[in-house]
Amino acid sequence: MRTEPRQVEVEPTVRDHLANERTFLAYVRTALAMIGFGFVIARLDPRALVSLLSGVMMVVGGIGMALFGAYRYVSERRALIEHRWHTLRPNVAIGIAIASGILGLLAMYALIRLATT
């Protein structure tokens, strides 16, 4: 059973547009943090391949987060202007959670490996 996003006719306010901008800035902050942590993790042990790969994955995840945030901002802005409202699909939210968990596990593995060497 596949459900489509619910769309309801709404009247946007300045508050809605400002909330959309704040959400976009949160995506940007998160992306910058992921990119920064990626560099730190990659530099933990330059000789360890797992550290380098974990760092690269964090940087790529941060870039993906920035692109996704920009897409969401434009999509929500367009929806507000066109007086529509929709929600994030559950499979997208689950995919983001799984990807974040995998990145976290890789970072944890790199830290544990560094601590034991």
- Over the stretch 35-64, which tens digit does the pLDDT of each residue have? 999 999 888 877 878 788 888 888 998 999
Question: What range does the domain containing 69 cover?
Answer: 14-116
Write down the mean pLDDT value for the chain: 85
Whether 2 is covered by a domain: the verdict is: no
Q: Whole-prediction pTM value?
A: 0.70
- Torsion angle, CA of 45/50/55/60, rounded to 10 degrees? 160
Whether 3 is covered by a domain: the verdict is: no
Whether 94 is covered by a domain: the verdict is: yes
Number of domains in the chain: 1
Whether 5 is covered by a domain: the verdict is: no
Whether 65 is covered by a domain: the verdict is: yes
Q: What is the pLDDT of residue 32?
A: 97
- As a whole number of angstroms, the longest Cα–Cα distance in the chain is 59
Q: What is the pLDDT of residue 87?
A: 77
